[in-house]
Structure 1
């Protein structure tokens, strides 16, 4: 992996930092919408593989014009950064999603998601061990607070079932998520955020297509209407939202946020995805969060704030 830049923050104007946080919140929120939308499609017979491939493929198509515009006059960047683009598309996009859905096929969603979202801790460890960026005590405290909040938000205290195969798949998804944050924050490649998002999604879609063609990714789809709490809609409505909002918009804003905030802070702000997923599950599929989950959400937010303040102390 090339130099992971923008991880020890430089002095930035307040609007730039605020814009990075806003982009990160948009990314986390839109990523969080994917689960509840997919739940509706699952109920009509869609397989995880079909949903993931359609989601990533639609996103790649949607970002194609912006990718071309961002690379105009700089096509040589694709050749020079081919290795990192391949790692991003295969590991951070296709790999992370394929491994996560493989995990939830053999274990409960809550522990699978919690294991995957140990990625922020992995980012801190990577930057400490490989880049010498020792986290401040406040950053470590924020990580601990956010971890406790995640346990409460995911309601693990009720005794979810664990399967070792699922744990292994979830850990593999964590590796993909860690790669996503680290590569997204790399400003040394010269690749514009939209270019990295578009090309990475294209590589990811092609990878998922190969997995589907070889039978490793089961493909089942349906044209039946999808029922959500507010209304019943045609099958293509959640599919478009998954591709355009939870993938195209989510990846583009997530990369732009990582460039402004650094992989460490961006990865912790991304924990808000779990909180967003709980809220959207309540609104779309009537899965009402309890008081414990709401308290966990507040702890996650508090942990993110602590990490951000600790990150500033390193500047």
Structure 2
């Protein structure tokens, strides 16, 4: 069951309610859920957004989240972001602590020679693809965070890549994010220049930053990390989504531990690395085949198979049918983009 925090959902709820939409009608028990402050199921949010777009006729409703952003959506990690020396380091913290906000997606920061790319990837195990309004709300909140951290510069993205098809009307999207929009993308990405990444934050505080990071890390370990197996699963999903098929030593390095310690830890959790990697590949393969039109050659390479034949055999073992048959069988449930 994938969730997002109540604080994050409340920002969205305020944005949608401001448009005159009745949230309770579409999500019974909403008031009680918000009063309890517990996490909200991602699939419920998806269904709510689809209903609200249908009711209001406003396909841009997710973008309203920008106007209603408040640091409370970030929880304790807001301090680690604020005290970061630069915007780039704050974006790295945003990605590092994203699991505290939601386990329905992965976020990471790619550092290229000439740019920074903040990437969001849906968790392959979520039963339904994220609707446009949810993707828009996520992008709007990230952009609001950037402008909150840099109130004097308020940088614009070099480009914004969105996984949904280009809408008939893109005026609101362009008004908020600029003209460099790309649709039907493989991943949701917001790109900034290195100069923007180097912006020094007015709230930077080196001494406090160390304390804030330690506190946020402790909170995430308590709230999210759980077993070593869960942490390995999350790393495998993130790496495979980037086209990296990591080995045991690679994952151990990312966890800051030795290969032997990782092996022993997994044994204690009654888990096997090879099996975890195979399961992660299976989930990613299912997502690619259901939700994209990528070639089998591309998918097999993305998941780290030596050749397309090996990928074919793996699909037969996982699904009982070939990858092409799996794609055809599930065509109506997701559609290729």
Calculate the TM-score normalised by the size of structure 2.
0.25
Calculate the TM-score normalised by the size of structure 1.
0.27
Structure of greater Rg: 2
Larger strand fraction of residues: 2
Larger helix fraction of residues: 1
Higher relative contact order (CA 8 A, sep 6+): 1
